[in-house]
A and B are shown apart, each in its own frame.
Chain A
Amino acid sequence: MLSRLVLRAAPAALRALPPPVAVGVLHTTRPLHTTQQSLAPVPPLPEKGGEVRHGLIPEEFFQFLYPKTGVTGPYMLGTGLLLYLLSKEIYVINHETAAAACILAVIVYGIKKFGADVAAFADKLNEEKVATALAMKNEAIQTLQTAIEEEKKEQWRAEGRNYLFDAKRNNIAMLLETNYRERLLMVYNEVKKRLDYQVAMQNLKRQKEQDYMIQWVEKNVVQSITPQQQKESIAKCILDLKALSKSAHAAV
């Protein structure tokens, strides 16, 4: 009971606490996800990158010079720049130049020959990654769809709850009826047993009284028969028997 008192007192105590600290100090009351911008869905990667001519100079440079110098402008600029650097020896030709030329030649040859194959291979790897991710996504969507259908089915099943309740009510009614009848039978049996007991008691009593009375009467009668009477009765009986035998003899 004391715990219930504590629980009742807790909200009142919480309301009595000072209000939360100012917004600038603690960022607990900062609203979240209120802007339109969000990180998903991520926009897809662009198909092609920025245009680059000869692998080194972006196309924007050529477009920048086109209005003033036409198509050959940047090339003229490049040639002039190169000749200037060479003639003034701002770019010095030494062993590194030869090495750089060879390396560049090899690189360019390699790219021209194997570029397409490497690109196709990389594309294939990417495709596989994307395909696995897509498969996972589709599988997740599929499982969710099946879950939705299952849920709808369960909802449809739940509509039949009235039948279930009726059946249960019937069951309960039957149980109650059975119980009632059992108890009725028990009551009847008990009452009958008590009444039978009373009846048996009365019968027993009457029988005992009867037996005792008969016995008593017999005893008294036997006692009252004096020896004299006994002799007289025996003689009478013999006489009677003789008379009877005579009548029987006569009849035969």
Chain B
Amino acid sequence: GPLSQRPLMEVRLGELHTWLSTCNFSPQRLLGAVQKAWSSYCAKYMHVRRGGPAGISMLLAGYCLLSYGWNYQHLKRHRWRKYH
């Protein structure tokens, strides 16, 4: 279909720029997009009959990565070598 109506997953890498320019970034739309993403994640990995550790473990892993990224400037000081 047309570029502006396609969801993010079906946009090719080269068209990403144009796709970003088409959608309007109002706070309500952003909030709606965040809500939709969260609910689809929940529906896919958490609200199932026989789930596994996958639902929470991915969230925790993402949290670990995010906190590593936030503290990167501080962790950079504990490098073992000066030149890589």
Contact = CB atoms under 8 A, between A and B. Distances in A.
A111 B46 CA distance: 17
Contact of B48 (A49, A58, A91): A49
A93 B79 CA distance: 8
B48 A55 contact: no
A123 B50 contact: yes
A88 B52 contact: no
Interface in B26-84: 44-55, 57-58, 61, 64, 68, 75-76, 78-81, 84
Interface in A84-128: 87-89, 91-94, 100, 111, 115, 119, 123, 126
Contacts of B47: 45
Contact of B54 (A52, A87, A88, A91): A52
B48 A48 contact: yes
Contact of A49 (B44, B76, B78, B84): B44
A118 B61 CA distance: 22
B25 to A, nearest CB: 27
Nearest to B41: A50
Contacts of A119: 50, 52
Contacts, number: 60
> Chain A contact residues: over half helix, strand or loop, or mixed?
loop
A49 B58 contact: no
A19 to B, nearest CB: 34
A46 interface: yes
Given A45-B47, A92-B75, A94-B75, A52 B52 contact: yes
Nearest to B77: A92
Contact of A111 (B53, B55, B78): B53
A87 B80 CA distance: 11
Contact of A89 (B44, B46, B61, B79): B79
25 contacts: A45-B49, A46-B48, A46-B49, A47-B48, A47-B49, A47-B50, A48-B49, A48-B50, A49-B44, A49-B46, A49-B48, A49-B51, A49-B52, A49-B54, A55-B57, A56-B61, A87-B84, A89-B79, A89-B80, A92-B75, A92-B79, A111-B53, A119-B50, A119-B52, A123-B49
Closest A-B pairs by Cβ, 9 of them: A52-B54, A49-B48, A50-B44, A49-B45, A49-B51, A55-B57, A89-B79, A94-B78, A88-B84
